[in-house]
Amino acid sequence: MITIQILPQLLNQQEFECWLLTKKKSDYVGMRATAYCCPIANWLKESYNVSVDIHGSEIIWSQNKIESPAWIKDFVKQVDLKKQHSTFCTTQEALVILGLIMNNEAISRQV
């Protein structure tokens, strides 16, 4: 059983990337600016049967709030910035955004 204490341990960007790689590049994996249906929320629902609302800086689950890890904050911000293009986010878009975030983190660690 997943608890609020365990939830932060599930928020692993490599696990999210693996989930994305199970999808076709043209598949819709979430909706922009929609807390309950963003790609991260859909991943947690499909992989762990956990329904959350993602509000960028925080994750709300069962009336509990936890702070989002930096990679989720960055990911949600980048996904939502593109909302004028389409309501939906494809696997390909999510992978590109995630790749940019992972690249920036690697560069930051080297500096």
Q: What share of the chain is helix, strand, coil (3-state, %, to 5)?
A: 50, 15, 35
pTM for the structure as a whole: 0.88
Helix orientation angle between 39-48 and 13-21, rounded to the nearest 10 degrees: 80
Rounded distance between C-alpha atoms, residue 101 and residue 5, angstroms: 25
19 CB-side CA count, 13 A: 23
- The per-residue pLDDT for 43 is 97
- The per-residue pLDDT for 105 is 63
- The per-residue pLDDT for 1 is 74
Residues lower than pLDDT 70 in the chain: 83-85, 105-111
- The per-residue pLDDT for 111 is 41
Q: Is residue 41 within 8 Å of residue 54, measured between CB atoms?
A: yes
- The per-residue pLDDT for 109 is 55
